[in-house]
Amino acid sequence: MIEVKVLGMDCANCKAIQMLIKQVCSENAIPINLEKIEDTVEIMSYGIMSTPGVVVDGKIAHAGGIPDKTTVLSWFKSSCCPTDNNCC
Amino acid sequence: MFELLADYLVFDLAGLDSSSKLGESVQFFVMDIAKIFFMLILIIYLIGLFRSFISPEKVRTYVQGKSKFSARISAIFLGAFTPFCSCSSVPIFIGFVEAGIPLGVTFSFLIASPMINEIAVVMLLGIVGWKITVLYVVSGLLVAFFGGIIMEKFKPEKWVEEYVWKIKIGETQNIKKDNCFEVRNRYAIGQTKEIVRRIWKWIILGIGLGAYFHGYFPQEWAQSLGDANNFLAVPMAVLIGIPLYSSTVGVIPLAEAMLIKGVAIGTTLAFMMSIAAISVPELLILRKVIKWQALLLFTAIVTVSIILIGIVFNVIL
């Protein structure tokens, strides 16, 4: 199970990125535990200023805007296709 | 090129009468849509490539510790280029405060960022030409510069919510990214798709309204708005524009129609700026970090600066 946190307040982009992560992970059978962090103080403690931010396994993977599917998949590279360099 | 295409589609293929009001409106609509979507996609893509190099986190590091003048200048220019959705304004505000960047500089950034953006610039370039585009950008920069300075005179620190000062943000993390062109290209394409998906309806609606006014705008309205000596026109346009919120995109075609029908440039620019600069949703979000007195003051300062700029343009142009 990979811990994934979406950092962001209640905005359209934050909802969109949550949906996208869920979709990509279910398509590639990657088991994740998705959590939404809405508390400003906690968001700031990750040192990002542009939301939505994404934390994968305790590391900041993304900040600001909506990434494409390939980028999302690349966050999980080590669990989906560690040896396949063409995957993401 | 786009005019020829529109003429062909509307007058030759659809067989509308080129001298009728309907024909004129439809031709205008088709021409603007083709032109704007073409430029929009091209320019958003190029800006997206450029943006893959900057982020608010980098802006913060860059502005931190600079003298106030150069901090403000860089904050404004970076604000004009950095996108952030209004839900990011709180983290950005806190991040700037925490970095010790003066509040006045932060406000300059917050004014510049929504007002000057590539979408507005494309729409202006495509619809009203480069001269007014330059005027719009320059006035946006001026409002951001002086708005921030005036804001500072009121010592807004006293209005910042207590908890903001206590937040210690984590070490700004650099997200590990591949720096190759392929990744940047993918980012830029993703951004283009996302922005176009988000705004295409508004553009069509805006162009539709513009086209409608193009054929049907009542001449008397235009005349009463269009008198440059009528100093009331600018404040009136701004007061109408402040509560409207449409991120400039939908308004620009309307602005074109206003200009064509003889509304003065200053009045039109002021109207557009007032819609872009102040958005009620953003103010409500900022309320989390700063008291309403500061927000009212912020709104008042921006309103007055826009009115002054509008009047100045009306007088000198």
Distance from CA of A32 to the nearest CA of B (A): 21
**pLDDT band, residue B262 (cuts 50/70/90):** confident
- pLDDT score of A36: 92
Tally Cβ neighbours within 10 Å of residue B111: 30
CB A62 within 8 A of CB A69: no
CB B281 within 8 A of CB B147: no
Stated length of chain B:
317
- pLDDT score of B276: 78
The tens digit of pLDDT for each residue in B296-306 reads 999 999 899 88
Q: Distance between CA atoms of B52 and B8, rounded to whole angstroms?
A: 40
Q: Distance between CA atoms of B290 and B252, rounded to whole angstroms?
A: 31
**Is the CB of residue A19 less than 8 Å away from at least one CB of chain B?**
no
Ordered by start, the domain boundaries in chain A are 2-80
Please give the ipTM for the structure prediction: 0.74
Record: fold of A2-80: Glutaredoxin (3.40.30)
Q: Which residues of B touch A18 (CB under 8 A)?
A: none
Q: How do strand A2-7 and strand A53-56 relate by DSSP bridges?
A: antiparallel
How buried is residue B316: exposed, middle or buried, by Cβ count under 10 Å (0-12/13-18/19+)? Answer: exposed
With CB atoms and an 8 Å threshold, state whether B91 touches A44.
Answer: yes
Quote the tokens at residue B105. Answer: 């500089």
The tens digit of pLDDT for each residue in B68-125 reads 888 899 888 888 877 666 667 788 888 888 888 899 999 998 888 878 877 778 777 7
CB B276 within 8 A of CB B247: yes
**Best mean pLDDT range from A33-42, B166-175, B208-217:** A33-42
* 3-class SS of residue B295: helix
Q: Distance between CA atoms of A71 and A86, rounded to whole angstroms?
A: 13
- pLDDT score of B147: 92
**pLDDT band, residue A20 (cuts 50/70/90):** very high
Lowest mean pLDDT among B53-62, B76-85, B243-252: B243-252
**Is the CB of residue B75 less than 8 Å away from at least one CB of chain A?**
no
User: Quick one: CA dihedral B254, B256, B261, B266, positive or negative?
Assistant: positive
Q: Distance between CA atoms of B305 and B147, rounded to whole angstroms?
A: 7
With CB atoms and an 8 Å threshold, state whether B98 touches A12.
Answer: no
Quote the tokens at residue B269. Answer: 């620019």
Q: For an interface test with B, which of A11, A36, A50 has the most B Cβ atoms less than 10 Å from its Cβ?
A: A50
- pLDDT score of B294: 92
How buried is residue B229: exposed, middle or buried, by Cβ count under 10 Å (0-12/13-18/19+)? Answer: exposed
Q: Distance between CA atoms of B24 and B22, rounded to whole angstroms?
A: 5
The tens digit of pLDDT for each residue in B138-192 reads 988 999 999 999 999 999 999 998 888 888 776 666 665 556 777 788 888 887 8
Q: Give me the residue from A46, A49, A71 closest to B88, CB to CB.
A: A49
Q: How do strand A2-7 and strand A32-37 relate by DSSP bridges?
A: parallel
Quote the tokens at residue B40. Answer: 């929009």
More confident residue, A9 or B215: A9
**Is the CB of residue B157 less than 8 Å away from at least one CB of chain A?**
no
- pLDDT score of A55: 92
Indicate the Cα dihedral angle B245, B93, B85, A65, nearest 10°.
Answer: 180
